[in-house]
């Protein structure tokens, strides 16, 4: 049976998390994962090469080896296994699953906030307080996104939930009500 990318991501991500926890290098591996995410975003060609089935696995491993030199043993080893098992396509989902497990273990609520203008520090603090109160976490890690198409207000995404308070959505709701 062919597994979907989410299931694959969950399995490998959980394995990476458990290994890092066992080796007591959780924070370092988390840092490595963040760095790798940035590298993949900054160098899109890297992703193209890693996803190209015509590039031999050995070459991919060599490339990763040079990239992973400075990283934790656990990260290096896991990435090589992922490459060997031809699961590089699912890398973003593996990182997602790892991060989720990491945040859960640290009682950190990861939230993506979309606004038209950046949140002020006061707003962040207030929002953080509200979310901690509501969801029972110790801290909140915000990932901020600026998107003018939402026209105003906030869209909050966390723990597979979306709390939509954007002006655009309100207008859409109004449009539906007017069309009836």
Q: What residue ranges bind other proteins (CB under 8 A)? A: 115-117, 119-120, 123, 126-127, 130-131, 134, 148, 151-154, 156, 161-165, 167-168, 171-172, 174-176, 178-180
Specify the residue, 31 or 170, whose C-beta has the smaller distance to other proteins.
Answer: 170
Specify the residue, 16 or 111, whose C-beta has the smaller distance to other proteins.
Answer: 111
Q: Residue 25 to residues 16, 38, 78: CA-CA distances in angstroms?
A: 11, 20, 13
Smallest distance, Å, CB 122 to other proteins?
9
Distance between CA atoms of residues 31 and 95, nearest Å = 11
Specify the residue, 43 or 162, whose C-beta has the smaller distance to other proteins.
Answer: 162
Distance between CA atoms of residues 65 and 75, nearest Å = 11
Smallest distance, Å, CB 131 to other proteins?
8
Smallest distance, Å, CB 124 to other proteins?
10
Specify the residue, 107 or 130, whose C-beta has the smaller distance to other proteins.
Answer: 130
Q: Is residue 154 classed as helix, strand or coil in its secondary structure?
A: strand
**Quick one: which H or E segment has residue 133?**
helix 121-135
Q: Which residues contact 57 (CB under 8 A, 6 or more apart)?
A: 83, 84, 86
């Amino acid at each position: 049976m062919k597994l979907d990318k989410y299931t694959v991501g969950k399995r490998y991500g959980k394995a990476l998390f458990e290994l890092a926890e066992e080796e007591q290098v959780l924070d370092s591996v988390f840092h490595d994962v963040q760095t790798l995410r940035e590298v993949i975003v900054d160098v899109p060609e890297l992703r193209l090469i890693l996803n190209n089935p015509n590039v031999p696995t050995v070459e991919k491993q060599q490339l990763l080896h040079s990239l992973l030199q400075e990283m934790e043993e656990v990260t290096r080893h896991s990435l090589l296994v992922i490459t060997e098992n031809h699961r590089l396509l699912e890398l973003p989902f593996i990182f997602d699953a790892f991060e989720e497990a990491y945040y859960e273990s640290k009682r950190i609520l990861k939230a993506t906030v979309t606004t038209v203008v950046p949140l002020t520090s006061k707003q962040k603090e207030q929002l953080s307080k509200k979310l901690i109160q509501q969801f029972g976490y110790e801290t909140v890690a915000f990932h901020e996104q600026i998107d003018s198409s939402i026209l105003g207000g906030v869209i909050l995404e966390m723990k597979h939930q979306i709390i939509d308070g954007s002006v655009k959505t309100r207008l859409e709701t109004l449009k539906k009500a007017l069309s009836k």
